[in-house]
Structure 1
Amino acid sequence: MLVPSFPQAQQAQIIRANQRDLYHVSSLREQAESVLRSWLGSRWLTRWDKEVGLLVRLVYYGATTGRAVQTLGEEYTDIWQSSSTQRVPPPSSARAGLILVPTLFAYVLGRVGSAHSLRERYPGIAELLKRLPVWLEVVSEINLAIFYLRGTYYDVVKRVFGIRYISSIPEDPQTRPPSYSLLGVLLIVRLLHRLITTVRGYQSSVLKIPGGGKGKEREGAVAASKEMYLDDRPVTSFLGPTNPEGEPARPAVEDERTMLDVASIPEGLRAARNCTLCLEERTDSCSTECGHLFCWSCIVGWGREKAECPLCRQSLNLTRLIPIYNL
């Protein structure tokens, strides 16, 4: 009895499947956020957005990869996951790793890295967690360059678990599949440029600090060089070190960052001070570059997910928000 042999999936099939999956996950998350926003409000969604993203990814990949069936992207390009050693479907432990490792790791890294208490108690660990995403990005780009050059393991986690793709489309000896080697070479060039830039930046920062900048003196000088100022005042002096979108809602009459006596404002005028994101009276008011006013916590939470104004869709840069004290 002859056992059918399936060819390895081509690079184009794997890339299109991955893009399709990203599209479906993004679409599912937008629909879930829309429903939760209408039920629980924007402030709640801003506070728990990472948990919503985690749940969406677990549901999507748990219902497909977790059940040893194709994802929508893999079905779109007719490819299946396969063990690289035995050419059989990956075991349940490998499928669980494919789902949990990237999803939970990204979630934990995002939550722990933004925890203010961790930055105060363990600054060394906080600094490590801050740099870890950059290192992971470099590792991902190296893996992607290898994929473009050799055509195997589009994802780092699949390389770790030894999971490749097979295709149901027979190979055509008369046609030559497209090559992505040039993209791999360009990625390598970009990584080399990034390495050179990082080394030069480190050398220049050391040279600018007398005596090579040792210990806390060097750390303080580097942190001061990255500080932003508004009217000769460091931004952190009036914004505080807290995580803005993680703070509970505060009544406008308790807003300490305004010159107005909110309690003396007529009710009709106070109704015009509502934030369009949380639908409550603004606190810690700030203005975007396009001139729209929001609560500081609301617009920061929004801007970290979408770099555009929620009203006019103009480009949004969180470093250019302007605190407003008299509106």
Structure 2
Amino acid sequence: MFKLLSFANAPAIVRANQKDSYFESRLHNQLLDVVKAIKGSHFVHKYPEELRTLATALYLCLTTLVGSKTLGEEYVDLVYVSRDGRKIPKFASRFGFVVAYVLFPYAVRQLLQKLKSQQSRLAQLVSGVSYMNVMDLLNLHLALFYFTGKYYQFAKRLFGLRYAFGYRVDKNQQGARGNYELLGLLIIFQTVFKNVANLRKLWGATETVQDSGDLIYRFRDQTSDVIDLADPKVLPYLPEASRTCMLCLSPMKDPSCGECGHVFCWKCVLDWVKERQECPLCRAKMRESQLLPLR
């Protein structure tokens, strides 16, 4: 039966993923409300990444993992087929996709964040270079999708989950490409130019010296380091009573403030203003573009 179905094109796949992103966001917001009612705002602001990952996992487990369509796939009428288009992907393939798509990126982000927070400059360098390499690979994979219309996510390519139209289509609709090749070219050019600029910056920002036979990396530019107010030597002009974030109740990291002057962790206040464009303390208007990092 499935050999009669036509593989989906890039415009249909993009529309399905846009719809899925919208419904994932709705589920994430509802999950935040439930967790906030049970555990409080402090828990929500302490684990934003984990809650977002949980929302994505719930969405995919309730749809793809059990063999149902996501709401985006239902909207465009897409079905999963194997690489050759003749079979329905087995549970093992769907399970592997969900794990790779949800948990692997989270684990990589946590690992890179731990490396970046270490005092070793070498660990921070490895973290920065690894992050750039991962993002570049994902961007190049996206460019490949725009050229071929196959596998919007890398995890789907890895486990062989392709999209096909759930209905008979004419040749004109199947061949519609939507000028996505231009987007692919732009991504490739952007990646190349960005890496050239990063290499020049890295060449000028690092130097190597030989000290007791060990290679030490010294950074002249320290602006990428995390500013942690747990260290009293960091931003010493801030009094001790003002160094705690009122959202996470921990010493601030990357302190930032709005026009009202109240200071919070950058990540905490950013997550807050995405939901409510007001200061958590005085309720003054606050937008993402108005947040000022303290250095």
Give the TM-score normalised by the residue count of structure 1: 0.71
Aligned to 2:43: 44
Q: Secondary structure at the match of 1:154?
A: coil
Counterpart-to-counterpart distance in 2, 1:203 and 1:3: 53
How far the C-alpha of 1:95 sits from its partner, in A, is 0.6
AA in 2 matched with 1:196: V
SS of aligned partner of 1:7: coil
**Runs of 4+ off more than 6 Å:** none
**Aligned-residue offset at 1:227:** 4.1
Q: One-letter code of the match for 2:182?
A: L
Is this contact kept in 2: 1:112–1:118, CA < 8 A?
Answer: no
Cα separation, partners in 2 of 1:7 and 1:187, compared to 1, 3 Å:
same
Note the 1:173-322 alignment, pairs <5 A.
Answer: 173=171, 177=176, 178-205=178-205, 209=207, 213=209, 219-220=217-218, 222=219, 224-227=220-223, 236=227, 238-240=229-231, 257-258=240-241, 275=246, 277=247, 288-294=257-263, 296-297=264-265, 300-303=267-270, 310-311=278-279, 312-315=285-288, 320-321=293-294
User: Alpha-carbon deviation of 1:143?
Assistant: 0.8
SS of corresponding position for 2:162: strand
Report the Cα offset of residue 173 of structure 1. Answer: 3.5
Matched, 1:105 2:101: no
Query: Cα RMSD (Å) of the superposition?
Result: 3.7
Residue 235 (structure 2) aligns with: none
What per-residue deviation string (whole Å, max 9, x for no partner) do you get for residues 168-205 of structure 1? 23232456513311111111111111122122223333
C-alpha distance in 1 between matches for 2:291 and 2:215: 29
Tell me if the contact between 1:289 and 1:316 (Cα under 8 Å) persists in the aligned partners.
no
Offset of 1:63 from its aligned partner?
1.0
Equivalent position SS for 1:226: coil
CA contact (8 A) 1:9 1:166 kept: yes
Instruction: Pick 1 or 2: higher relative contact order, CA cutoff 8 A, min separation 6.
Output: 2
SS of residue paired to 2:182: helix
- Report the CA distance shift for 1:123/1:90 in structure 2 as closer, same or farther (over 3 A): farther
Aligned-pair CA distance for 1:87: 2.1
Counterpart residue type for residue 131 of structure 2: P
Given that 1:54 and 1:103 are in contact with CA atoms closer than 8 Å, whether structure 2 keeps it comes out as yes
Instruction: Spell out, residue by residue over 1:249-295, the C-alpha distance to the aligned partner (whole angstroms, 9 max, x if none).
Output: xxxxxx97138xxxxxxxxxxxxxx95x57x8x987x761312425x
Name which one, 1 or 2, has greater alpha-carbon Rg: 1
Alignment of 1:24-35 (within 5 A): 24-35=23-34
Q: AA paired with 1:288?
A: C
Aligned to 2:241, the other structure's residue is in SS state: coil
Q: Does 1:159 align with 2:157?
A: yes
1:123 to 1:79, Cα distance in 2 relative to 1, 3 A:
same
Distance change >3 Å, CA 289–CA 40, structure 1 → 2: same
Match of 2:282 in 1: none
For structure 1, which runs of at least 5 residues remain unmatched after alignment? 229-233, 242-254, 260-273, 323-327
Matched residue, 1:142: 140
CA spacing shift, 1:131–1:14, aligned 2, 3 Å: same
**Paired amino acid for 1:144:** L
Alignment of 1:81-120 (within 5 A): 81-85=80-84, 87-115=86-114, 119=118
Say whether the 8 Å CA contact 1:16–1:73 is kept in structure 2: yes
How far the C-alpha of 1:161 sits from its partner, in A, is 1.5
Percent identity (aligned): 22
Q: Give the TM-score of the pair, scaled to structure 2.
A: 0.78
Q: Using the alignment, how far apart are the partners of 1:126 and 1:304 within structure 2?
A: 25
